[in-house]
Amino acid sequence: MNIRYIAILPLLISAADAFSDDAVPVQYQGNCQQENVIQNLAVKCQSNTLQITVRTNPTTGFDWHYKNYSQELLKPADPQYRSVYDDPELVGAPSIGTYTSEVLKSGLVSFDFCYMQNWTGGDFARGYRFELTADESRNITGYRITVLNQSDIKPGE
């Protein structure tokens, strides 16, 4: 019986390490041939436009925010929301948010996409660093997404 506990102890330690701020970043790479689902994000690019679709609930104070990007390289549009329930007026219900941004120049374009309360002292739930590659016509040709640790982003910045 003690052998069972010893056998799973390394697994528990590995799982705990995966959630620490010192964990190795998780990265995903994609191209723009099709929509890709990465963790809880649906990522789609067409020409110079990137579209991210994800669950959200802005009535809680948490929402997805673009952080650490150059306005000369990226232009985010206002998000569009739709209820996951038949009643769009249901207060506090989760939504599906679609976040669209336009690449303005060729080369490497990076930004952080974070689910957080966007005020000083607000909470951070999760985040991703996007690195887009755009050709000379500003078409997105590929991307890399890195899962962020809580220490990578500070609310209110």
Q: What is the DSSP letter of 137?
A: T
pLDDT recorded at residue 57: 85
38, two tokens: 């990465």
pTM: 0.77
Residue by residue, DSSP assigns 54-80 as: EEE-GGGT-EEEEES--TTTEEEPPPE
Query: Is residue 107 included in any domain, yes or no?
Result: yes
Query: Is residue 12 included in any domain, yes or no?
Result: no
How far, in Å, CA of 70 to CA of 78, rounded? 17
Q: 101-136 pLDDT, tens per residue?
A: 999 999 999 999 999 988 877 888 899 999 999 999
Count of domains forming the chain = 1
Query: Is residue 18 included in any domain, yes or no?
Result: no
Q: Which residues of the chain have pLDDT under 50?
A: 1-24
pLDDT recorded at residue 157: 53
Hey, which residues does 124 pair with through a beta bridge? Answer: 116
pLDDT recorded at residue 155: 54
Query: Is residue 74 included in any domain, yes or no?
Result: yes
pLDDT recorded at residue 106: 96
Domain that holds residue 116: 26-152
User: Residue 19, Cβ neighbours under 10 Å: how many?
Assistant: 9
Beta strand pairing status for 95-103 and 74-76?
antiparallel
Q: Which residues contact 94 (CB under 8 A, 6 or more apart)?
A: 55, 56, 57, 84
